[in-house]
Amino acid sequence: MTVYTHIAENKRRTVIFILVYIVLITAVVYFAREFYGFDYGFVAIAAIFSIIMSFIGYYAGDKVALASSGAKQVEGRDANPYIYNMVENLSITAGLPIPKVYIINDPAINAFATGRDPKHSSVAVTTGAIEKLENEELEGVLAHELSHVGNYDIRVMTIVVVMVGIISIITDMLMRGMLFGGGGRDNNKGGGPLALVGIVLIILSPIVAELIKLSISRKREYLADASGVLLTRYPDGLAKALEKISLENRPMARASNATAHLFISSPFSKKKFASLFSTHPPIEDRIKKLRGM
């Protein structure tokens, strides 16, 4: 499979997952309206609230992520010529504005990119990555992170978070309404088999929505791996970096659930979460795909 095939496949699957979200929201709203008598007002409230919260995260999330990880900005080339020049060269190759560069004082090997678009982007890398990775390995990691910026992954994930928020709020309001007897119609059709399907859908849809979100996050990681290879033209650089990461079981000192999905690898202990609920695909699978390019 070529790099271009990987890129096309992961973009296509992201679109499919987002379409599944739309179908899921439509189904929940249909059952809420047809069988339980809820009007569309609560849907509008859920959408507005979710969009407002997501926009706050969209415009301020990068500052929160950098502050929570303890990242310190590299103030110009002279402050750290090695890392600054590498980011600058990769940005020029990718046709991207040079992002702000940050260093996280942590011995774990990790890095992340954030920012709502290429003009407002930042790349952060740990001291562990700088010290333990060879030049081509670190270049592969940074190319991966810059690919997140170029692929507008923050924007994609913001759209996904809005959809997950809408589903979660709607189903929470429906559950509360049904428990406390609200939202019923005089001609409520709640006794039929379709109504039972609706109840199951309302209960399970938040879980399904979260799993789809995690799947999209993993597909964007594969996409960034493939896009990063286009920058460096050396898949083995990133593959070797991921191998070194996989050998570590060192969690980052300031790991956070809120920012875990941003990093190239989970900032937690590799044994903390089951792979089904991880924001990252298995490292072994990523290495295999890179070596197959």
Of 81, 139, 80, 150, nearest to 111 by C-alpha is 139
pLDDT digit string (tens) for 188-226? 455 567 777 778 888 888 898 888 888 889 999 999 999
**Contact in structure between 258 and 246 (CB atoms under 8 Å):** no
Parallel, antiparallel or unpaired: strands 122-126 and 100-104: parallel
Beta-bridged to residue 122, according to DSSP, are 100, 114
Of 264, 282, 67, 55, nearest to 148 by C-alpha is 264
Domain of residue 193: give its range: 3-291
pLDDT digit string (tens) for 255-289? 887 788 889 998 886 655 445 567 789 999 999 99
Q: What is the pTM of this model?
A: 0.84
d(C-alpha 187, C-alpha 132), whole Å: 68
Q: Which of 137, 139, 145, 221 is catalytic?
A: 145
**Contact in structure between 114 and 65 (CB atoms under 8 Å):** yes
Q: Could you tell me which residues come within 8 angstroms of residue 135 by beta carbon, excluding any fewer than 6 positions away?
A: none
At residue 164, the pLDDT reads 85
At residue 251, the pLDDT reads 87
Number of domains in the chain: 1
Q: Which residue has the tokens 């999209």?
A: 216
CA dist list (Å): 289 to 24, 238, 259: 31, 11, 25
Of 187, 160, 126, nearest to 24 by C-alpha is 160
Residue ranges, the chain, pLDDT below 70: 1, 36, 178, 180-192, 269-277
Tokens of 163: 């959809």
d(C-alpha 229, C-alpha 10), whole Å: 15
CA dist list (Å): 179 to 6, 148, 152: 47, 43, 41
At residue 187, the pLDDT reads 45
Parallel, antiparallel or unpaired: strands 100-104 and 71-73: antiparallel
**Contact in structure between 113 and 263 (CB atoms under 8 Å):** no
Distance of alpha carbon 289 from the chain centroid: 20
Q: What is the DSSP letter of 106?
A: -
Tokens of 217: 């996050």
**Does residue 145 carry a catalytic annotation?**
yes
**Contact in structure between 130 and 101 (CB atoms under 8 Å):** no
